């Protein structure tokens, strides 16, 4: 049990800015196994975002509350995934070879492509959540939870299916270079789909079909990354999470017209 707690806290320590007990320490082995708890981190980030949104909308306009909610989520993760998205936009936008793309993605500075990517994703997140709030707050809250869990499950799926791009597993996400075991992926899969199952039960079985566009996005991005750089990097996983989350919001908003 204590070992599993260490694995979970390793995930919490790596993917968020939430303080963890000192006894957890740092272990590349445990960090590599912590990907099975990636969707579970989505519960925590979504919980923070939804809590801020719920309490702030009691006194503030919903639009302002959504901005605060988005900010709370970003602060919780330390913009971890947004940084990955920006690096991918810069790397694939400005690089023309595997070496060039990987070098650009390692650069801590943000370029034009990264700035545009971040602006578009943040604007999309705000407007989609604002439109979802017009349906009902409960539908909005559940969609946020589903978005955070399924998007992280999609990133875990990329680790399962595709190879790590950097030779010899170098880079800040070196522990992710190892293939995800079927057992670990099963843990991620179960925890990742529970919110979707609940939403399917409460609203409509049609919500479950969000899996289809998410799988299509996974295959497209995985094939794209493999063609250009031979696989994924940690930044690629961040971009998968961000784009998958936005895709969930788009699907749930569009679906409402038919349920």
The pLDDT assigned to 170 comes to 55
Low-confidence ranges of the chain (pLDDT < 70): 167-178, 259
166-186 pLDDT per residue, tens: 765 555 555 665 678 889 999
Q: What is the pLDDT of residue 5?
A: 83
Nearest in space to 240 (alpha carbons), one of 212, 254, 221, 227: 221
- Those residues with Cβ within 8 angstroms of residue 143's Cβ, 6 or more apart along the chain or in another chain: 132, 199, 248, 249, 252
| CA-based nearest residue to 140, from 252, 21, 63 | 252
Task: Name the nearest CA neighbour of 148 among 43, 21, 229, 240.
Answer: 43
pLDDT at 181: 85
Quickly list DSSP for 21-79. -GGG---HHHHHHGGGGHHHHHHHHHHHHHHHHHHHTTTS-HHHHHHHHHHHHHHHHTT
């Amino acid at each position: 049990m204590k070992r599993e707690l260490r694995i979970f806290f390793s995930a919490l320590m790596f993917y968020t800015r939430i303080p963890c007990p000192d006894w957890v320490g740092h272990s590349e082995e445990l960090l590599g196994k912590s990907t099975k708890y990636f969707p579970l981190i989505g519960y925590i980030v979504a919980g923070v975002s939804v809590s801020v949104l719920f309490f702030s909308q009691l006194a503030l306009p919903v639009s302002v509350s959504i901005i605060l909610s988005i900010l709370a989520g970003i602060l919780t993760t330390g913009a971890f995934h947004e940084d990955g998205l920006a690096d991918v936009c810069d790397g694939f936008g400005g690089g023309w070879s595997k070496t060039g793309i990987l070098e650009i993605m390692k650069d801590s500075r943000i370029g034009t492509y990264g700035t545009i990517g971040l602006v578009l994703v943040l604007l999309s997140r705000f407007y989609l959540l604002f439109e979802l709030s017009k349906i009902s707050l409960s539908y909005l809250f559940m969609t946020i939870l589903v978005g955070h869990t399924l998007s992280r499950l999609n990133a875990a799926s990329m680790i399962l299916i595709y190879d790590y791009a950097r030779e010899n597993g170098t880079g800040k996400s070196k522990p992710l270079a190892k293939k995800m075991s079927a057992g670990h992926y099963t843990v991620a899969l179960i925890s990742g789909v529970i919110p979707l199952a609940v939403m399917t039960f409460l609203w409509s079985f049609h919500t479950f079909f969000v899996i289809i566009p998410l799988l299509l996005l996974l295959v497209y991005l995985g094939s794209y990354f493999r063609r250009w750089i031979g696989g994924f990097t940690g930044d690629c996983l961040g971009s998968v999470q961000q784009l998958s989350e936005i895709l969930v919001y788009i699907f749930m908003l569009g679906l409402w017209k038919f349920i």
